[in-house]
Copies of this chain bind each other. A is one copy, B any other.
Amino acid sequence: MMRMKMVGIAVSAVIAGTAWAAATRDEPITPIRPPVQVNLGMVELGKKLYFDPRLSKSGFISCNSCHNLSMGGTDNIPTSIGDKWQQGPINAPTVLNSSLNVAQFWDGRAADLKAQAGGPIANPGEMAFTHTLALDVLESIPAYVREFKQVFGKDKIDIDQVTLAIAEFEKTLVTPNSRFDQWLLGKDDALTPAELEGYNLFKNSGCVACHNGEAVGGNSFQKMGLVEPYKASSPAEGRSAVTGKDADRFNFKVPTLRNVEMTYPYFHDGAANTLTEAVDTMGRLQLGKKFTKDENARIVAFLKTLTGEQPKFTLPILPPSSDATPRPKPFN
């Protein structure tokens, strides 16, 4: 009886998320936790919306086009392709673990995933639609109408429901159980000696000052080019575009380094093709430090241990349009 009671307490503690951290090593990076308090109906609906190109004017671009879940939640090109092949101004950040970010977009102009989700739909350079037109499409598709009603219990679909559902799906896109997290959680042989040396270099050189926490980044804004200026190939000004403060010029959200092996190219302008190049540039520009070839290789080896389990789910099947559904306009 006593034992059963203790098990009961342990389970409650785990569910509440309090007993969890105790199991880890005391490091500035903490393991990714699976999502809690997820609304599964909303997740399934949001997954469909995430993959649905009918939320774009052309009927060709979905959230997954630029935040491709087959490719680390990015598009792996320097800047994204928008409606009519417009070139985007900035590198698409990964959607993986984005629920852990302090804010969304490189400049943090959206407070959370819900606020972010509405942006690209209505951005003339991205999906080039409007919220009203997107809602007209959804309202014309009987299976969507039923599913929204089932999930939200309302008679009409509104943009808040759309962005809430997409955000709820995105909350599930975390990548636990990387080899680095296995090591954090006590599996001593999860890292090779070179990878562990790479981590110690990463920690002791100061990288960890910005790249820390559960997402190994994503939790602060920092100046790109702290010690030496960065010559960006993108016109983006960073955080100052949001705050209006000159002091925030060229401050960007520190990107997560989770799954960084999959999220190339790097930096807000996508100018660095390889991790070797990115580590070298960051060392020089942010830390005033020139890593040797061997140090660089060890840090890169460590970074590759941050690749976690990728979200695993069945490709959603989208409900077909009805006769009343407004047709996409890809070429006008």
Contact = CB atoms under 8 A, between A and B. Distances in A.
Interface of A: 51-54, 58-60, 65, 68-72, 75-77, 81, 84-85, 87, 261-262, 264-265, 273-276, 310, 312-318, 320-321, 323, 327-328, 330-331
Nearest to A319: B262
A70 B315 contact: yes
Lowest 9 CB-CB distances: which A-B pairs, in order?
A85-B85, A274-B323, A310-B317, A262-B320, A70-B318, A59-B77, A315-B315, A60-B81, A84-B85
Contacts of A75: 53, 59-60
A47 B73 CA distance: 18
A264 B321 contact: yes
How many identical chains are in the complex? 2
Main secondary structure of the interface of A (DSSP, over half): loop
Contacts of A261: 320
B58 A318 contact: no
Nearest to A259: B320
Given A70-B316, A71-B320, 14 more contacts: A53-B71, A53-B75, A54-B76, A58-B77, A59-B75, A59-B76, A70-B318, A76-B328, A77-B330, A264-B321, A273-B323, A312-B315, A313-B315, A315-B315
Contacts of A265: 327
Contacts of A321: 76, 264
Contacts of A275: 323
Contact of A87 (B59, B70, B264, B331): B331
Contacts of A84: 85
A331 B87 CA distance: 7
A96 to B, nearest CB: 11
A310 B318 CA distance: 10
18 contacts: A51-B70, A52-B70, A53-B68, A58-B77, A58-B81, A60-B77, A60-B81, A70-B315, A71-B320, A72-B320, A77-B327, A84-B85, A85-B85, A262-B320, A264-B321, A265-B327, A312-B314, A315-B315
Contact of A330 (B65, B81, B313, B315): B81
Q: Which of A70, A265, A274 has the most CB of B within 10 A?
A: A70
A315 B172 CA distance: 15
A102 to B, nearest CB: 26
A206 to B, nearest CB: 25
Contacts of A72: 320
A317 B70 contact: yes
